[in-house]
Amino acid sequence: MSGPARTDAGVTSAPVTGEDEVRRLLREDLRGGTAYGAPQLEVAHALNTNENAYPVPDEVAEAITTAVAAETRGLNRYPDREFTALREALAAYLTHASGVTITPEQTWAGNGSNEVLLHLVQAFGGPGRTALGFTPSYSMHPIITRTADTTWIDGLRGRESAGEGDAGARFDLPVEATAAQAREHDPSLVFLCSPNNPTGTALDLDVVRAVYDAAQNAIVVVDEAYAEFARPGTPSALTLLEGRPRLVVTRTLSKAFALAGGRLGYLAADPALVDALRLVRMPYHLSSVTQAVATTVLGHADVMLGTVEAIKTQRDRIVDELPALGYESVPSDANFVLFGGIEDAPALWRVLLEEGVLVRDVGLPGYLRVTAGTPAEVDAFLAALARHPGTASIEEEQA
């Protein structure tokens, strides 16, 4: 226990606490920061973290159990540092899903897509370098960037022509305006999301092409964590990889594959870029168990993705039904919906929580985000909102 500190004048000052000492030694740019974290609360309907609401199917759970059991006797040995079987499985899945030939040498993986993103920033960011993103977007992009001692630049979204009630346009990334920002800031990394979190909007690939050409000194990262939920006809940035060695497409097994607890994210890129990530990864960063689980899941991709259409149906149902309740919904290509028309978003968040429905306050004034869950969960969410109409309904009543 720290005792009282004495000054040169012999006056006793307040004792130094552990918190004081830690704050004094902490990196200056991290002092006063807030750690990432969605609320983890026991509620009837948790619709705040964009998880797949459906459990792992029995046949896949049994296959995972068998695969993990086979690994247990050899846990005294380090795992395959190159996670060879997993990379082969990732390449096969991406090739099948996208129609683009992806080789194992083009793939990389980590403990969730956040670790993959960290590897990218560690390799291509650092002191004196910058990363450009476009708010609102995935909140971990700036957090990862700053913790890797890289300067974050907040880019601008939206069209000047966007009017009231045109939320999708307000969150757009217009081609020329976005490329102009990339050209102006000349960053070391650019983060794009398709579909974007928290808006759910997919990205026109012309934006990716234009940003890639404008940011000549940047690694351009297209975060496709929710790609499997996109509406028909939505192209993947995987189709742009050939001939673009600075382009990276990141994905995850956490969402559509219902493996949030398994922690496996991955990317596809030029083999030379993948090779550079070996310089920053920790030795044996993917455990034998993680590799076994992920490889098994990818071997059952059709089964694991069997709930995607059901989730998309509930997502579209939310988008379609919210306006009648006085709320503005943003069309979505993800497994969640951003909705507005809220007079006091934090207050509505608390009201919904009291009714057993946990949604996400993403920090956008007048907006909340809800995950598309099971039909019963969406029933509960819409019923709760019906008891608390949005501002559009209030305005109609007052008119």
What is the CATH architecture assignment of 45-55+306-398? Alpha-Beta Complex (3.90)
Q: Kindly state the tokens that stand for 19.
A: 């918190």
- Give me the pLDDT at residue 6, please: 55
- Give me the pLDDT at residue 162, please: 44
Contacts of 86 (CB under 8 A, 6+ apart): 109, 286, 291, 294, 295, 298
193 phi/psi in degrees, rounded to 5: -125, 135
Rg over CA atoms, the chain: 23
Name residue 212's amino acid. Y
Least Cα distance to 104 among 274, 237, 230, 262 occurs for 274
- Give me the pLDDT at residue 334, please: 98
What are the residue ranges spanned by the domains of the chain?
45-55+306-398, 58-299
Q: For residue 179, count other CB atoms closer than 10 A to its CB.
A: 20
Separation CA 249–CA 353 (nearest Å): 35
Q: Is the pTM value of this prediction over 0.85? A: yes
Tell me the pLDDT of the chain (399 aa) as tens digits.
445 555 555 555 678 788 888 988 998 888 888 887 777 888 999 999 999 999 999 999 999 999 999 999 999 999 999 999 999 999 999 999 999 999 999 999 999 999 999 999 999 999 999 999 999 999 999 999 999 999 999 999 985 434 455 555 789 999 999 999 999 999 999 999 999 999 999 999 999 999 999 999 999 999 999 999 999 999 999 999 999 999 999 999 999 999 999 999 999 999 999 999 999 999 999 999 999 999 999 999 999 999 999 999 999 999 999 999 999 999 999 999 999 999 999 999 999 999 999 999 999 999 999 999 999 999 999 999 999 988 765 444 443
Separation CA 370–CA 393 (nearest Å): 20
Contacts of 238 (CB under 8 A, 6+ apart): 94, 98, 100, 102, 224, 249, 268
Residue 192, SS3? strand
Separation CA 98–CA 74 (nearest Å): 35
Separation CA 215–CA 219 (nearest Å): 8
- Is there a shared CATH topology between the 45-55+306-398 domain and the 58-299 domain? no
Cis before 389? omega within 30: no
How far is CA 231 from its chain centroid? 18
- Give me the pLDDT at residue 395, please: 45
- Give me the pLDDT at residue 1, please: 46
Exposed, middle or buried: residue 60 (CB in 10 Å: 0-12, 13-18, 19+)? buried
- Give me the pLDDT at residue 17, please: 87
* Contact criterion met (CB below 8 Å) for 169 and 161: yes
Separation CA 109–CA 352 (nearest Å): 37
The CA-CA-CA angle for residues 47, 49, 50, to 5°, reads 80
Task: Give me the residues paired with residue 5 across strands.
Answer: 13
Q: Does domain 58-299 have CATH number 3.40.640.10?
A: yes
Separation CA 200–CA 234 (nearest Å): 13
Separation CA 334–CA 84 (nearest Å): 30
